[in-house]
Amino acid sequence: MTPGKILHPIQVLNRQRRYRIDRNSVISFCATVLKSLGVPAAQSLSVVFVGASRIQSMNCQYRWKDYATDVLSFSYEGVKLDGFSFLGEIVIAPEVAFNHAIRSGTQPERELRKILVHGILHLLGYDHEFDQGQMNRLQTKLLRRKFILNSPSLADFRANP
By residue range, what is the domain housing residue 96?
Answer: 10-151
Is 70 exceeded by the pLDDT of residue 3? no
Q: Is the C-alpha dihedral spanning 156, 3, 151, 8 positive or negative?
A: positive
CA distances from 42 to 36, 39, 128 (A): 15, 8, 26
157 within domain boundaries: no
- On whether residue 156 sits in a domain, the answer given is no
For the chain, give the percent of residues with pLDDT over 70: 94
Residue 152 confidence (pLDDT): 86
pLDDT of residue 160: 66
Asked whether residue 80 is assigned to any structural domain, the reply reads yes
| Side chain identity, residue 47 | V
What band does 4 get if pLDDT is binned at 50, 70 and 90? very low
pLDDT per position as a tens digit, 94-114: 999 999 999 999 999 999 999
Ramachandran region of residue 73, left (φ > 0), alpha (ψ -120 to 50) or beta?
A: beta
Whether the model pTM is above 0.85:
yes
- How far apart are alpha carbons 70 and 49 in whole angstroms? 10
> CB 7: neighbour CB atoms within 10 A?
18
Using a pLDDT cut of 90, give the percent of the chain over it. Answer: 62
Per-residue burial over 10-49, b = 16 or more CB atoms within 10 Å of its CB, e = otherwise: bebebebebbebbbeebbbbbbbbbeeeebeeebbbbbbb
Q: Which residues contact 72 (CB under 8 A, 6 or more apart)?
A: 55, 58, 59, 62, 63, 90, 91, 119
**What would the mean pLDDT of 121-146 be, rounded to a whole number?**
85
At 81 the pLDDT is 81
Number of domains in the chain: 1
Over range 9-34, report the average pLDDT.
94
Question: Phi/psi class of residue 120: alpha, beta or left (left: φ > 0; alpha: ψ in -120 to 50)?
Answer: alpha
In this predicted structure, what is the pLDDT of residue 149? 72
pLDDT at 2: 42
| 120-145 mean pLDDT | 85
Q: Classify residue 31: in a domain, yes or no.
A: yes
| 31: CATH | 3.40.390.30
Residue-averaged pLDDT of the chain: 89
